[in-house]
């Protein structure tokens, strides 16, 4: 039922600042006009006045943080990304949601997070939340990115264990090792639709149960 209400929830956000992370990756921070009810790992639908397109983004910020943060590549220079990158402090945008259940389960089973590139955003939120609330269940993050893993300084500190492979091959080897040793875990996958599909296949091949796999497919990549 909460998802139905979330669909109609719309928040006005004031742009505060942008931070360069690496290459064409930036984090954009916004101050909500009213507190936003967010569960770590959820995404919102973002609307910028003047830009026709809307885009979903996972909230990279944890509920405990005061500013809402999204992290993205701006290299495509799409109408939406140009509008986002052109925001000036004090300007407003809108967010619908946040939505859905790419969120921690209400239990203490270990959690394995598998991220590709900018797919790290919901895991930054979940890991910082787990750290802030001293969540008991152990977390293992495997984040594959060619170099300079986005948010590494924070995720490395917050995760129980973290691995940062730089190749597909290295990622798959790490994922298999972790999957073999963590049959009781929840597996969370976040990245491009192709990454999510291939990693699901890899995990199923290692005997991971389909219902233990939760997915955030970044359509558009
Ligand atoms: C649940 C969810 C969470 C996401 N979280 C993030 C995030 O944290 N960071 C991030 O960078 N991206 C995230 N994305 C992807 C994001 O919404 C954009 O699609 C992506 O950033 C590319 O945007 P663009 O404007 O550069 O795309 P463009 O270069 O304009 O798009 C390329 C093509 O894909 C189509 N397209 C673009 N976006 C979508 C979409 N969302 N659904 C269907 N078709 C689309 C366009 O119409 C165009 O044909 C998320 C997507 C989903 C579904």
pLDDT in tens, 58-104: 999 999 999 999 999 999 999 999 999 999 999 999 999 999 889 99
Q: What is the pTM of this model?
A: 0.95
Q: Kindly indicate the confidence band of residue 21, based on its pLDDT and cuts at 50, 70 and 90.
A: very high
Whether the pLDDT of residue 18 is over 60: the answer is yes
Pairing outcome for strands 43-47 and 54-58: antiparallel
CB atoms within 10 A of CB 61: 24
Nearest CA to ligand 1 atom 24: 78
The residue extents of the domains of the chain are 2-99, 111-217
Nearest CA to ligand 1 atom 50: 218
CATH class of 111-217: alpha beta
Q: Look up tokens 């691995």; give the residue.
A: 163
Residue 30 near residue 68, CB atoms below 8 Å: yes
Nearest ligand 1 atom to the CA of 121 is: 8
121-170 pLDDT, tens digit per residue, is 999 999 999 999 999 999 999 999 999 999 999 999 999 999 999 999 99
Ligand 1 center–CA 72 separation, angstroms: 9
Nearest CA to ligand 1 atom 37: 220
Whether domain 2-99 has CATH 2.40.30.10: the reply is yes
- Ligand 1 pocket at CB < 6 A: 43, 55-58, 70-73, 76, 78, 80-81, 118, 121, 216, 218-221
pLDDT, position 220 = 86
């Amino acid at each position: 039922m909460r998802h139905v209400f979330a669909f109609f929830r719309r928040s006005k956000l004031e742009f505060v600042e942008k931070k360069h992370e690496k290459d064409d990756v930036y984090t954009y921070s916004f101050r909500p006009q009213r507190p936003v009810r967010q569960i770590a790992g959820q995404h919102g639908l973002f609307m910028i006045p003047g830009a026709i397109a809307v885009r979903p983004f996972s909230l990279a910020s944890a509920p405990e943080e005061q500013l809402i943060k999204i992290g993205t590549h701006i290299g495509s220079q799409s109408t939406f990304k140009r509008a986002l990158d052109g925001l000036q402090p004090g300007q407003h945008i809108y967010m619908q949601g946040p939505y859905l259940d790419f969120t921690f389960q209400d239990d203490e089973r270990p959690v394995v997070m598998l991220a590709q590139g900018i797919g790290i955003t919901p895991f930054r939120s979940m890991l910082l939340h787990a750290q802030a609330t001293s969540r008991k269940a152990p977390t293992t993050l495997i984040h594959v990115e060619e170099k300079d893993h986005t948010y590494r300084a924070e995720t490395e500190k917050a995760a129980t264990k973290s691995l940062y492979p730089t190749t597909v091959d290295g990622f798959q080897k790490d994922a298999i090792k972790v999957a073999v040793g963590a049959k009781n875990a929840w597996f969370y996958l976040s990245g491009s639709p192709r990454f999510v599909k291939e990693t699901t296949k890899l995990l199923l091949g290692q005997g991971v149960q389909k219902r233990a796999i939760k997915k955030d497919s970044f359509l558009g990549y």
